[in-house]
Every structure is written in C-alpha cells, then in structure tokens.
C-alpha cells in the first residue's frame, strides 16, 4: 500500500449537523485502514489556531455514529478570515506533523479551507455538513435529511391542531439564507405557501392566496417560512397577513430543535460514504477539493468553486409546490 499521507487532522466547522459524528468516525477508521495517523482538532478553525489537537484511534470514535452534534465541538471563527489566522493554523499543523486536513462543515467553511490550501500549501479536503443543504457541488449535505424529518414531524402535528381550530399556522424553519429546508418540508407537509430567501416575498400576494383558498373551501392553512425569507421571520408574516385572512393565527418557531437528535439512516450512510471517500481521495493525491454526491455518484469539486458559486434551489419543486397547494 502506498502511504502518501501520513497524518490527517479532522475538524468540524460552522453549525453542527446530525451525521457529523458519523463522518468523523468514517474519516478516522478509513485513515486507520490506510495506515494513516489521525488527530482530532477541537472547536473548528479556532482550535486549529489555538493548537487544540488530540490523537484519535478506532475506539475514540466508537458508539458515536448514532449521536447528533459533533464530538469535536464546533465554532464560527472570525480569526480564520484573516491571513494571520490561517498562517497560525498552518503552523499548528506543521508543528504537529499533520500533512493533510479534512474539514466537515457548511457553506462558510470552504472559503477558509480554499485560502488555507492556496496561501499555506496545506492539503485540504472538504466534507459537506450542514442542515441548510446550500453547498455548491453536492446534491445533498450531511444533516439535511434528519433536519427535514424533524421539521416535517412538527408540521404534521401542527396541521392536526390547525385543522381542529380552523387556524392559520406559520411555521418557521431554519435557513437564514437558504430555503431548501422550507421547500422540502413545505412540499412534504402540503403547505399552502412556502416563503424562502431566494424568492422575493410579496405578503399581499400571500394573504390574497390564503383568502382565495378559504373561498375554495379550506378551513385551515399552514405556511412554512424559512427564517431568512422575511425580515422578522414568521412572527412578522403573522402580523402582516393574519388579520386580512380572517384567520386566528399562531406561529411556531422550530429553531435549533432541527439541528439536534440522532441522524437518520440516510445521513449516517451519506456521512460514512463521504468520510471514506475524502480519505481515499487524499491518499490518491487529490486535494483542494470537496467530496460530494450527485447523479453520477461520489464526486469532487474544487474548493474554489464551492465557495464562489451558488447552489440553485430546485425550481421544479417550487413549481410543484405551487401547483399542489390548491
């Protein structure tokens, strides 16, 4: 076996996502299989700057595949946005003899990763992990499936009470700049309207469409609102439209509940696949890339593309949601 990489560092960055632990486990165990040493870096890029490293073995990642959150902890690190911060991070890696880095995280993770690779010549591979599913280069990111299932369960429960009281329910889901959760949960939960940051929201039009639905015989409605769709979120939507619809209205903000809990089967399998692939690709000499998944199977995308390009939302699903909400 060619032992090109000798020591990998692994970290999680940005918002935690269910399945990150499964990805850490996959990185560690694949590395061991390839005879590569692994160090866990704690608290994301901040820990990399501060030198918070600990060796990880096969037993360090036992019994974590089913756990939400991340055993490595995570952070959103401002210092890593500076060249000095990245230089310090590279120093930590060199001091500890780490010759490659696997970063598991969301959209904000990849700019830092690309710059670390460019400026410091560090071999980096990314693994997409965010409930938002807004990362360019992969059809799906680790955590999305679990988050939409949690949110959908809540929508189903709220529909029961909405129907019983003939009320309008506004359900706010996560997604400051991404409507992917709202779109999937809205379609799967049969929402009367779905509001997302990618599509300008006309609250008059939303109110009119709810009134029209009442005229067609609907006695209750559910509107799914991504947190970043409207300034002030779902509460602001309630204030703007409830009276005009003549509904008694209630708002439920799901918040961080969507980020916790045991990962779904899909997320565990995805995380295992991507963690494994990340190490295999590094070992084969491929770096400066993120591993992802699309119709072709497992793919790699340059880190530069990941942070400079924008993932399109599923416009066909937007149209389907509209047609089905009669």
Site string for ligand F6P, 174-213 (x = CB under 6 A): xxx-------------------------------------
Residue 28 to residue 275: CA distance in whole angstroms: 8
292 counts as binding ligand F6P under rule CB under 6 A? no
Asked if residues 251 and 216 have their Cβ atoms less than 8 Å apart, the reply is: no
Residue 80 to residue 76: CA distance in whole angstroms: 9
Using CB under 6 A as the binding rule, the residues of this chain from 265 to 284 that contact ligand F6P are none
Residue 257 to residue 286: CA distance in whole angstroms: 37
311 counts as binding ligand F6P under rule CB under 6 A? no
Site string for ligand F6P, 11-50 (x = CB under 6 A): ----x-----------------------------------
DSSP assignment of 13-43 equals ESS--TTHHHHHHHHHHHHHHTT-EEEEETT
Rounded to 5 degrees, φ, ψ at 285 are 100, 10
Using CB under 6 A as the binding rule, the residues of this chain from 150 to 179 that contact ligand F6P are 174-176
Catalytic annotation on 153? Answer: no
Catalytic residue among 16, 132, 134, 267: 132
- Minimum distance from CB of 194 to ligand F6P (Å)? 16
- Minimum distance from CB of 30 to ligand F6P (Å)? 26
Residue 291 to residue 302: CA distance in whole angstroms: 9
Residue 26 to residue 5: CA distance in whole angstroms: 16
Binding site residues, ligand F6P, CB under 6 A = 15, 106, 130-132, 174-176, 227, 259
């Amino acid at each position: 076996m060619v032992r090109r990489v000798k020591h990998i560092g692994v970290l999680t960055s940005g918002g935690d996502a269910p399945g990150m632990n499964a990805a850490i486990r996959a990185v560690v165990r694949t590395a061991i299989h390839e005879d590569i040493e692994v160090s866990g870096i704690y608290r994301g890029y901040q820990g990399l700057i501060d030198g918070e490293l600990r060796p990880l073995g096969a037993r360090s990642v036992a019994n974590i595949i089913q756990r939400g959150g991340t055993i490595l902890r995570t952070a959103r690190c401002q210092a890593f946005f500076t060249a000095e911060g990245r230089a310090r991070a590279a120093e930590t890696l060199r001091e500890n003899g780490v010759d490659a880095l696997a970063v598991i995280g969301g959209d904000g993770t990849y700019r830092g990763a690309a710059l670390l690779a460019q400026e410091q010549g560090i071999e980096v591979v990314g693994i997409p992990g965010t409930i938002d599913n807004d990362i360019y280069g992969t059809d799906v990111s680790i955590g999305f499936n679990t988050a939409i299932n949690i949110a959908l369960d809540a929508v189903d429960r709220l529909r029961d009470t909405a129907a019983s009281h003939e009320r309008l329910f506004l359900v706010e889901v996560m997604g400051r700049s991404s409507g992917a959760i709202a779109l999937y949960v809205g379609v799967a939960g049969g929402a009367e309207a779905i509001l997302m940051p990618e599509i300008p929201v006309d609250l008059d039009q939303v109110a009119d469409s709810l009134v029209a639905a009442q005229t067609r015989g609907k006695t209750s409605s559910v509107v799914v609102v991504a947190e970043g769709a409207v300034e002030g979120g779902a509460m602001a939507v309630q204030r703007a439209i409830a009276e005009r619809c003549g509904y008694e209205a209630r708002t439920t903000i799901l918040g961080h509940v969507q980020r916790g809990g045991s990962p779904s089967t899909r997320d565990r399998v995805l995380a295992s696949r991507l963690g494994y692939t990340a190490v295999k690709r590094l070992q084969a000499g491929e770096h400066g890339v993120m591993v992802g998944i699309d119709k072709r199977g497992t793919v790699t995308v340059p880190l530069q593309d990941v942070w400079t390009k924008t993932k399109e939302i599923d416009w066909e699903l937007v149209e389907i949601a509209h047609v089905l909400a009669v």
